[in-house]
Amino acid sequence: MKNRREWYEENHPKAAKAQRIGLIVLLIFVLMIVIGGIVLLLHTLKSDNAKPVGNVEAKPYVIQESELSRPEESQASSESSEESLETTQTAGSSVEESSVTVSLEVSSEVQSQEPSSEQVVIPPLPERSYYLIVVDAGHGGKDVGANNDLLGYTVNEKDIDLAVALYLKSYLEEKSDVQVIMTRDTDRFIELSDRPAVANTEQANLFVSVHCNTYEKDQKVKGLECYYHENDKKRSGIMAETMITSLKNSGLDTKIRGTRVADYKVLREAYYPAVLFEMGFMTNPDELAKLASEDYQKQLAKAIADAVYAAVKK
Ligand SMILES: [Zn+2]
């Protein structure tokens, strides 16, 4: 017995053929839509993979020129201001977002564009078999820094800074994997901007500036502080904390006051980690006598050298 379909094909051969062709055309049409969909899906997945997060890390980070050219703060006034003494931070107190993170975010946003003339592209630190440290002796030449006659003769900060900086260089270079470049190794004047510029050009692992503090209102105030810029908490800030910890364990005969943030030009304009030591208070006669002595200058330099080495190794 014939089924209904066979009966239909026998009695309406033309219509049956047309139906079959129509069915095949419909099948091909559906198949094309399905294949098209799969191709589109694969293409979408592929273009998502084409922009991995890794690309952001590989790119040098970019900072705005405007960030580098804010008005300069008077360092002398902040060195001796009452406010700066009262806002002393304790170790590890406020490690937040750093400029590096912010800059990387900027970089990911602009990664498909050419840097504009207002942006400074900062290459990542090169792979090296040694740590490059830039040691910056504060002041110099016509800029004598802080000074007074408390010891019966004039003591200029620039001379203490240079003496400690030279000892710091030699102690650091006792480490086989450290090289040191100095911004000055004689009594000469250098513009503030030219100091971090050395570290930027040389791509130093760390820029270390050494200074002495003053506090006219209280001669008893003494001790050492390590400053970093608040835009670089994640690098400079963490290194400063490591250095302060090392100094606290060094047995150095002064109060280790801790880390502080300050908008010093030499820190603000540094592309790589940068710290500034206020090694002691020239307004404290006992500390001034020590700062002016070769013996204590060496002790300071040795303790700072060990602290710097601990920080760059970490
Ligand atoms: Zn100074």
E strand spans, the chain: 61-64, 119-122, 131-137, 147-148, 155-156, 178-182, 206-213, 224-228, 256-261, 274-281
Report the amino acid identity of residue 266.
V
Question: Ligand 1 center to residue 313 CA distance, Å?
Answer: 27
Q: What is the pLDDT of residue 309?
A: 98
DSSP string, 219-286: TT---EEEEE-GGGIIIIIHHHHHHHHHHHTTT-SS-EEEEEE---HHHHT-SS-EEEEEEEETTSHH
Question: Ligand 1 center to residue 119 CA distance, Å?
Answer: 30
Q: What is the pLDDT of residue 187?
A: 98
Question: Ligand 1 center to residue 291 CA distance, Å?
Answer: 13
Q: CA-CA distance, 122 to 26, in Å (whole number)? A: 60
Question: Ligand 1 center to residue 139 CA distance, Å?
Answer: 6
Question: Ligand 1 center to residue 80 CA distance, Å?
Answer: 10
Q: What is the pLDDT of residue 99?
A: 37
Separation in Å, CA 144 to CA 138, 154, 193, 243: 9, 11, 17, 27
Q: What fold is seen in the domain 77-101+123-313?
A: Aminopeptidase (3.40.630)
Q: CA-CA distance, 146 to 285, in Å (whole number)? A: 14
Task: Copy the structure tokens of residue 218.
Answer: 């209280």
Question: Ligand 1 center to residue 212 CA distance, Å?
Answer: 5
List the chain residues with pLDDT less than 50: 46-115
Question: Ligand 1 center to residue 197 CA distance, Å?
Answer: 18
3-class secondary-structure state, position 81: coil
With residue 70 as reference, give the H or E element that holds it: none
Question: Ligand 1 center to residue 33 CA distance, Å?
Answer: 75
Question: Are the CB atoms for 148 and 216 separated by under 8 Å?
Answer: no
pTM of this structure: 0.66
Contacts of 30 (CB under 8 A, 6+ apart): none
Spans of all domains in the chain: 4-49, 77-101+123-313
Strand 178-182, strand 131-137: pairing: parallel
Question: Ligand 1 center to residue 292 CA distance, Å?
Answer: 15
Q: Where are the alpha helices (DSSP H) in 113-156?
A: none
Question: Ligand 1 center to residue 284 CA distance, Å?
Answer: 15
Question: Ligand 1 center to residue 140 CA distance, Å?
Answer: 10
Question: Ligand 1 center to residue 250 CA distance, Å?
Answer: 23
Contacts of 79 (CB under 8 A, 6+ apart): 146, 211, 213, 214, 278
Q: What is the pLDDT of residue 81?
A: 41
Question: Ligand 1 center to residue 32 CA distance, Å?
Answer: 76
Task: Copy the structure tokens of residue 228.
Answer: 């970093």
Question: Ligand 1 center to residue 75 CA distance, Å?
Answer: 7
With residue 15 as reference, give the H or E element that holds it: helix 13-49
Q: What is the pLDDT of residue 20?
A: 74
The angle that helices 157-172 and 294-313 make with each other, rounded to 10 degrees, is 50
Q: What is the pLDDT of residue 17?
A: 74
Question: Ligand 1 center to residue 193 CA distance, Å?
Answer: 15
Question: Ligand 1 center to residue 24 CA distance, Å?
Answer: 89
